[in-house]
Structure formats: structure tokens, C-alpha cells
Amino acid sequence: MHTISNEQFTNETIAFDGFSFIGCTFSNCVIIITTLDFNFERCSFYDSSLHVNPKLPIFAISHKLSQSTYDSDTNCYQNDYKYPQTVVELPEAVHR
């Protein structure tokens, strides 16, 4: 897995599969998650959308998402990761 640390992403579409993001910031990004082969920790998401393959177990995705912080304009969709229809509530932010 390729690690990306302390980077800032703005207005980008990013496939998380195969990457580990540590301490990164995502602003107005579209995040695509199609497999569980990814990791992120201590990341921040602002006005972004996470699009999750509906075949992935929501518990596993929720656990991974709980390791980062989100603003109220960030949404997670689990229905069709290309054309989202259903909003999934994000876990509470973890402040350290």
C-alpha cells in the first residue's frame, strides 16, 4: 500500500483504493471507495463527498471513517458510488 502523508487536496477526485493517507486534508473533494484496501488516519474532510461501493460492509467503512474529522458539509453515500442517492451518517469526529 502506498502511503501519502500531510498532503492537502482541493477540488480533486481521489480513489482511496491501494493508498494509506495520514494527516491529509481534503477540501471539496470526491472520494471513491470501491474496496477495503485503503487506510486513512488523522485526516480532515471539508465540503467533500465520500462515495462507497454498496457491496462493502458498512461497519468496516464506519470504523475506518471514525479515525478522521469531518465538517457538516461532508457527506457519505452508500448506494451507487458513481451516482449516489442515499446519504450515510458519518460517525462523530474524533478530536485529539
Q: What digits encode the pLDDT tens for the residues 17-65?
A: 899 999 999 999 999 888 889 988 889 999 998 888 888 887 787 777 7
Closest CA to 43 of 11, 15, 20, 13: 20
Using an 8 Å Cβ cutoff, are 24 and 43 in contact?
A: yes
Q: What is the mean pLDDT of residues 75-80?
A: 71
Highest mean pLDDT range out of 24-28, 74-78, 89-93?
24-28
Q: What is the pTM of this model?
A: 0.75
- Find out whether 34 and 53 touch, Cβ atoms under 8 Å: yes
